[in-house]
């Protein structure tokens, strides 16, 4: 079932509308340049990028995946992966918020409620920020007849400290999944800043605590038994995009190092990763136009290959900063270790063993 809290009024101006893919990529490059200026300082002092996120969401870039039937641009997924990579090169914490936002919009694309799609896509076009979380305790959702109530503590999720809307999956006492679309200021909802990681220090990760949060539960969500979805494929693709941006940022800091075979290998590895992101984006486009178990699985495994490769590449380049740049690279003032810290903590979300087993079953049969 799906539940939606009361829609809230906004006081900030409506966001700009981006009219073309060329404008989208130009906007991403401009913003990334601005974000990079104080990214290191924000990381050192854990200063949240609130002004930067306001600029991002007012720019219209965060609505470029809204479908045309909802007055959006709906850019190609290869371009979307590149947009996230560009933003990540400026500040990977901001990019991580962006990747989760776009994944929620992809989930919404497949929502069966036309009214919910229209309302929430309109909010995305207006510049609202979305993210997702999960309440994994059985019974966190409980039926109150015409409504559902949410109680409990969510998993820690990036972006929760900044968002306007939270898509929260919960489980009722019968084991059925209920999806809540919650306005940030919903009564009974509290967001806690409990992040304690050494990387992605300003990505707004936090935990939601719900105490009797209620919402209308008239429309069912798309909770079919399929193993992979276009949303899970997009999540993997954009995870790769963020790690690609981290790799590019680290590689840029090697420009002053003596040219070597090692640097050449790293540069080509970054280029190969970008090619995988582009290829996966094309497959995801195809699965969105002609969704089937086969096309979605193909997109998912292609995006997952990009994700695993990007994670490894980001770590390789970040490690090389200290192997090839000499003692100057270890200066606290330069804060170059943030690239390794960011890549390392994200690599925990790119654990590959389960994926490799699933890929073996997909390509060679169960």
Average pLDDT, the chain: 92
CATH of 2-126, one of 1.10.540.10, 3.40.50.300, 1.20.120.330, 3.90.1150.10: 1.10.540.10
Q: How far is CA 32 from CA 55, 94, 172, 250, 337, in A?
A: 11, 10, 42, 15, 20
Residue 254 tokens read as 């090697």
Q: For residues 117 and 65, is the Cβ–Cβ distance under 8 A?
A: no
Pairwise CA distance, residues 98 & 81, whole Å: 11
What pLDDT digit, counting tens, does each position of 281-305 carry? 999 999 999 999 999 999 999 999 9
With bands split at pLDDT 50, 70 and 90, how would you rate the model's confidence at 227? confident
With bands split at pLDDT 50, 70 and 90, how would you rate the model's confidence at 145? confident
With bands split at pLDDT 50, 70 and 90, how would you rate the model's confidence at 88? very high
- Give the pLDDT confidence score for residue 222 in this predicted structure: 47
User: Domain extents for the chain?
Assistant: 2-126, 130-219, 230-364
Domains 2-126 and 130-219 share a fold: no
- Spatial CA neighbour of 158 closest among 215, 92, 61: 92
Model confidence at 106: pLDDT above 70: yes
Global pTM?
0.94
Domain 130-219 sits in CATH at 2.40.110.10
Mean pLDDT of the 315-334 span: 88
Mean pLDDT of the 135-150 span: 91
Model confidence at 156: pLDDT above 80: yes
Mean pLDDT of the 209-227 span: 65
CATH 1.10.730.10 fits 230-364, yes or no: no
């Amino acid at each position: 079932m799906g539940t939606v809290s009361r829609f809230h009024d906004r006081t900030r101006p409506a966001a700009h509308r981006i009219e073309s893919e060329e404008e989208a990529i130009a906007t991403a490059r401009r913003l990334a340049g601005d974000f990079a200026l104080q990214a290191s300082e924000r990381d050192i002092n854990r200063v949240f990028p609130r002004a930067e996120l306001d600029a991002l969401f007012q720019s219209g870039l965060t609505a470029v995946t809204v479908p045309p039937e909802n007055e959006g641009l709906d850019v190609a997924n290869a371009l979307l992966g590149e947009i996230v990579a560009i933003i990540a090169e400026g500040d990977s914490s901001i990019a991580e918020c962006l990747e989760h936002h776009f994944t929620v919009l992809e989930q919404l694309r497949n929502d069966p409620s036309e009214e919910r799609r229209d309302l929430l896509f309109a909010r995305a076009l207006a510049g609202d920020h979305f993210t997702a979380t999960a309440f994994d305790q059985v019974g966190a959702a409980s039926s109150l007849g015409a409504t559902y109530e949410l109680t409990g503590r969510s998993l820690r999720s990036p972006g929760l400290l900044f968002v306007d809307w939270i898509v929260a999956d919960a489980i009722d006492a019968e084991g059925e999944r209920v999806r809540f679309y919650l306005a940030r200021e919903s009564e009974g909802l509290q967001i806690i800043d409990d992040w304690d990681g050494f990387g992605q220090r300003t990505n707004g990760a936090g935990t939601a605590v719900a105490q009797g949060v209620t919402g209308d539960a008239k429309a069912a969500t798309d909770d079919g038994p399929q193993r992979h979805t276009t949303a899970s494929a997009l999540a993997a693709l954009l995870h790769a995009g963020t790690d690609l941006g981290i790799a590019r940022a680290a590689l840029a800091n090697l420009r002053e190092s003596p040219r070597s075979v090692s640097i050449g290998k790293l540069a080509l590895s970054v280029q190969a990763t970008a090619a995988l992101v582009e290829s996966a984006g094309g497959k995801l486009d195809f699965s969105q136009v002609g969704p089937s178990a086969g096309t979605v699985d193909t997109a998912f495994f292609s995006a997952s290959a990009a994700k695993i490769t990007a994670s490894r590449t980001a770590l390789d380049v970040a490690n090389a900063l200290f192997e090839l740049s000499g003692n100057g690279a270890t200066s606290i003032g330069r804060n170059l270790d943030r690239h390794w810290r960011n890549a390392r903590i994200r690599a925990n979300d790119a654990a590959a063993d389960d994926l490799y087993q699933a890929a073996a079953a997909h390509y060679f049969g169960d």
